[in-house]
Structure 1
Amino acid sequence: MAKSGDFVEYLNQERLSMDSDPPFCQTYKALFDKISENPCNKVVTVEECELPLVDLSRLDLDESEMEECKREIAMASQEWGFFQVINHGISRDILEKLREEQVKVFRQPFDKKSTEEKFATGCYRWGTPSATCLQQLSWSEAFHIPMTEISDSGAFSSLSSAMEQFAITVAGLAQKLAGILAEKLGQKSTFFKENCLPSTCYLRMNRYPPCPFYSGVHGLMPHTDSDFFTILHQDEVGGLQLVKDGKWISVKPNPEALVINIGDLFQAWSNDVYKSVEHRVVTNPTVERFSTAYFFCPSYDTVIQNSEPSVYRKFSFGEFRQQVQEDVQKLGHKVGLSRFLLSHK
């Protein structure tokens, strides 16, 4: 890790670097100046581990294998809030084509990415506009794309085609996993078929540029996801970390697997049986990282409730999202499910 005194030199280098990178240092210069005045060079070592790995091909075997596979999915969702799946039905060709097209679009000049008619403000995002300190800054850029807009993305038609193939197959996987998790709660999966539609879900393609001068900057700041669950396709660089047993652990990438993590809505819907776990992405000093996330969401008017006695009051997804946005604006961070506890005052 470079010392804080290297900031000015790095800033000058950034001005001369690839014009595809967002201007992090210029935009957030005041935040980095604070660190230069009060340097913090502590590097925390985080243990690496492998997430529970579930082979979904077992769902097509005899009944005992199928039930054991379902049990493993439910147990990982309870104990980890994260797990990996292989033989998930999304071909390597689809995943490789999506990654290839994703890299191409992020290689576009920054001015083009941020002003392209379809991939413009509201879809292309970078940094953290509300950040008041470096701990709130996400050193990353992303395209946030609703499923309904995938087939109409202007100049990037080849990317649209790759995303569309991925979206169709990953939506089927999402419904399969939701059905299993609902079944293990004794609930019916029709809830998800009725409320989590292509029009309510979205993709986010992420790029995490190298950040060589300060280890305290996150690629993505610690958070929980606000959906039912997220399906992640990541490269082999690594950087995803999550909280397990009160400490941060680093997820070892598996090129054959997709990562699944439970979101806030599923924790509430399951009455705290399944866990929405805090996670983050750490920066890499020399190597960029790519990932694509599929967020399994309901419509805003979908009501989240469960059987009595319930831990949470009844609320809609729209109400939840609005509360999250208000908290981020006022406090600089998400509060999340604790706002909706029946015991919350």
Structure 2
Amino acid sequence: MSVDLWVWIATAVAIVGMILFDFFAHVRTPHAPSFREAATWSTVYIVLAIVFGLGLGIVWGWDHGTEYFAGYVTEKSLSVDNLFVFLIIMTKFAVPREFQQKVLLVGVVIALVLRTVFILLGAAAIEQWSWVFYIFGAFLVYTGIKLAKEKHDSEEVSHADEQKDGLAVRLLKRVLPTTEEYHGDRLTTVIDGKRFITPMLVVMVAIGATDVLFALDSIPAIYGLTQEPYIVFTANAFALLGLRQLYFLIGGLLERLVYLNKGLSFILGFIGVKLVLHAMHVNELPFINGGEHIEWAPEIPTWLSLLVILGTLTVATVASLIKTRRDADAASAAVTDAQEPATKEH
């Protein structure tokens, strides 16, 4: 797949333009977006991503088009999981709802920059050393196991204020004077002639630090679906665009997706195995099969990866909603049973 430089430049300009439009049209004036606004713009960005994928498939072939859609769905799913962490951070720092859009947009920009750096590094590493796929695969399997052990529920959000500050936040507070009160959406403020940083800047640093960890997961995952840097970049970019609107659209649903992390852990493990099999197929390590390619190692086709990803997400979502519905019904029944004796006494 050969992508001309002007295509890269035009794509980057278009993405930056959409981010600037997002800022001036929605974020510049602080407000809590309505459900209709969030739904409308989430749909717009998803449609743009689909149209781009169709165009990519028409121009460069549907093998690459399938790779893009598999990568986009994977990155979008990982982004939804990231939103749960953002929700915990927002709750911990008690960010006013009308200021959350600015924090999220800054988080998207930081994530896009970091992922671009990791994409370039990953492409350079793959070009030089085929054994990198072994490392990527093992890392994804490890990450999947670790993710499966995490809890994503309302109880974790309710105890967000009890969580300790991360390393980046602790260093920031140690170096710079901070104030505990928000001063609008300003990042710094002057009190008695002395400049302080506000919680707005602190929470942005917290989200930026988590973006580093998210990039470490997402880039190896998508390189397990395609080795084309342009597809990796655009799938990540379109997955991140609209993330702010998605946060407000499914904010109440995030706490109900209790099995999402389990589904994502399976997906990461699956892609990790796919990467290891690919590494075996192109093996050059002298202590494995004498440095020869392992021809019997199967290559999992991208179309199958896409089906596994979509199927896993569907099962995880449906199972989550069923469980939370049953838990809610059980809690309601327990309250009713507790009230009945008191009613009979009267």
Higher gyration radius (CA):
2
Which TM-score tier does this pair reach, normalised by the shorter chain? under 0.3
Larger fraction in strand: 1
* TM-score, normalised via structure 1 length: 0.24
Larger fraction in helix: 2
Work out which structure has the larger RCO, using CA pairs closer than 8 Å and 6 or more positions apart in sequence: 2
* TM-score, normalised via structure 2 length: 0.24
